[in-house]
Amino acid sequence: MISAGASRGVDVDMQQNFDAIIIGAGIIGAAIAFEMARGGRRTLNIDRLPAAGYGSTSHSCAIIRVYYSTVDATALACDSYFHWKDWAGYLGAEDERGHAVFHDCGTLVMKTEQNGHCRRSMAIMSELGIPFEEWDAERIRETLPPYDLAGFAPAKRMEDDDFGKSNGSTIDGAVFFPQGGYVSDPQLATHNLQRAAEAHGAAFRFNAEVAEILREDGRVGGVRLADGSRITAPIVINVAGPHSAKINAMGGVTGDMAISTRPLRQEVVHLASPGGFDFQHRGTVVSDSDIAVYCRPETGNNILVGSEDPPCDVQEEVDPDDFDRTIGPQGITQAFRYAQRVPGIEVPNRPRGVVDLYDVTEDWGPIYDRSSLDGFYMAIGTSGNQFKNAPVVGRMMTALVDYCEGGNDHDAEPMTFRLTHIDHTLDLANVSRRRRINPDSSFSVLG
C-alpha cells in the first residue's frame, strides 16, 4: 500500500530502486527522509504500520526541552527547539491536515537531591549561553497553586508502607527553562514531515514489512519485503524504533556494537486538572525527581503523567510484537505519586492513558552511526527523549551518510557536526554504536 500522498513524490509501484531506504516512518525516520530528499537523494520510507507516526511516535509525550546531563545532548536539544518554534518555516511545505502546534510554555525542573539541585544543568546552560531562571518556592506556588512542595523521596511503590508519607523535607526551589514546551499532536508533526519530504520527491510505503536486508558486493544492497518484493538501494537506514534490534540482527551488524537497544514497555496516565486550575493554559512541563514523575498539559484541561524511571520501578523488556497495552499498576503508581504533589487531583479507579514502547540503550542515549556493513546506518535508541531532536537529527544523519559515502572512515575519525542556532559542534563519537556507556547519563528517560 502506498500513502495517499506518495504520488507527490516517487511512484513506488513503478520504481524498485532508490538512493536510500529508510526503515521506519516515525518522527526520526520522516525527518531523515525530509533532509535527505531536499538534499537530492531519492528516498523510500518503509513502515509496517498504515501511516507515518503510527508507532511509538504517536504515543510520545512530545516534550521539547533543553535540559540534559551532557553538553552535547543539551546543545542538540537547544538547536532543535528553534525548528519547533518556527515549525511551518522549517518545513517549507503545506499539509492538508494543517501543521502541528508547538506550545511554547517552558519547562520547570524541581531542585532535588536526586538531580543535584540542578547544579550540573545550570553549569551546562551557562557554558552554552542558554537562558534559565532560578525559582524559589514562592514562585513555584504562584505559578502552580495546586502544588504541595513536601518532599517524598526516594520514590516508592504503592505497596510500600511509607508511600505517601513526607520525608520531612520540602522542595525549596526549581529551575525554569523558557526554551521548551510540547507538541500537541506528535502524529500530525510526523505527517507534516512526510508531506514536506514528498514535496522534494520522497516516497513512503506503508503496511510493508522488511523480511531481509540484502547485500551486494560486500555492502548493503536494499531490502526484501515480506510479500517477496525486492527494493534496491546502496544505503539503508535503520530507524525502526522498538524494532531496531530485530532489524540490526537481520542485517548481521551486531557483532561490533558495544551499545545495544531493547524495547521497554512504558505507561503514561491522563488525569483531569484539579478543580479551579486551568493546567492546560496556565501549567507548564514539569520534571519532579522527588516523586519521580514528569508531566505536561494536555488538551481538555488534562495532565499527562509519566515516570522518570526510579530504581524501585521494574524496567519491563517485552517483545515489540506482543505486549499488554492496558494501563496497569505502574501507571496507577505514577498517578498516585503525582497526587502526592497535587493533593487536590482525582485519581479514578481505572486511569486513562496510553501504553507503548521505548527503544532504549544501556545508557538511554541514542545511536546515530554507521554499522559494520557498508551503506547500512542506524538512528536508534531514540524513544522517550529524542522526539524533540528530530529536525536536527535529520540533517545530522544526512551529513553522516555524505561523510561516510564520501570515503571517510567514521569509526577511525568520527564526524563532527556544527549546529545552526547555537555555537557548538557535536562529536558523533558520543553517539557511536561502539562508545562506552556514558557515566554522565541519568540512565532514565531524562537522558
Q: To which H or E segment does residue 250 belong?
A: helix 244-251
Do 6-60+186-260+364-431 and 103-181+264-358 come out as alike in CATH topology?
Answer: no
Asked if residue 214 has pLDDT above 50, the reply is yes
Binned at pLDDT 50, 70 and 90, residue 267 comes out as very high
Binned at pLDDT 50, 70 and 90, residue 15 comes out as low
Asked if residue 131 has pLDDT above 60, the reply is yes
Asked if residue 285 has pLDDT above 80, the reply is yes
Look at residue 11 in the predicted model and tell me its pLDDT.
56
Look at residue 440 in the predicted model and tell me its pLDDT.
74
Asked if residue 5 has pLDDT above 70, the reply is no
Look at residue 13 in the predicted model and tell me its pLDDT.
55
Look at residue 12 in the predicted model and tell me its pLDDT.
59
Look at residue 7 in the predicted model and tell me its pLDDT.
37
Beta bridge partners of 270: 304, 352
For the residues 191-214, what does the mean pLDDT come to?
Answer: 98
Look at residue 1 in the predicted model and tell me its pLDDT.
28
Of the two residues 14 and 241, the one the predictor is more confident about is: 241
Binned at pLDDT 50, 70 and 90, residue 320 comes out as very high
Query: pLDDT for 138-157, tens place per residue?
Result: 999 999 999 999 999 999 99
Structural domain spans, the chain: 6-60+186-260+364-431, 103-181+264-358
d(CA 230, CA 3): 19
Query: pLDDT for 268-284, tens place per residue?
Result: 999 999 999 999 999 99
In a 3-state reduction of DSSP, which class is residue 59? helix
Look at residue 265 in the predicted model and tell me its pLDDT.
96
Whether 342 and 171 have beta carbons less than 8 Å apart is answered as no
Look at residue 77 in the predicted model and tell me its pLDDT.
97
Binned at pLDDT 50, 70 and 90, residue 8 comes out as very low
Look at residue 81 in the predicted model and tell me its pLDDT.
98
For the residues 89-110, what does the mean pLDDT come to?
Answer: 98
Look at residue 444 in the predicted model and tell me its pLDDT.
74
d(CA 281, CA 296): 11
For the residues 18-24, what does the mean pLDDT come to?
Answer: 98
Query: 441: number of CA atoms within 13 Å, CB side?
Result: 18
Superfamily of domain 6-60+186-260+364-431: FAD/NAD(P)-binding domain (3.50.50.60)
* Reduced DSSP (H G I as helix, E B as strand, rest coil) percent helix, strand, coil of the chain, to 5: 30, 25, 45
Q: What is the DSSP string of 8-46?
A: GS--TTT--B-SEEEE--SHHHHHHHHHHHHTT--EEEE
For the residues 193-217, what does the mean pLDDT come to?
Answer: 98
Considering the chain, what percentage of its residues have pLDDT values greater than 90? 92
The DSSP call for residue 48 is S
Superfamily of domain 103-181+264-358: D-Amino Acid Oxidase, subunit A, domain 2 (3.30.9.10)
Sign of the torsion angle spanned by Cα atoms 51, 52, 57, 60: negative
Look at residue 383 in the predicted model and tell me its pLDDT.
80
Q: To which H or E segment does residue 400 belong?
A: helix 390-405
Asked if residue 9 has pLDDT above 70, the reply is no
d(CA 312, CA 341): 19
Asked if residue 447 has pLDDT above 90, the reply is no
Residue in 219, 214, 235, 239 with CA at minimum distance from that of residue 378: 239
Across the chain, mean pLDDT equals: 94
Beta bridge partners of 378: 238, 369
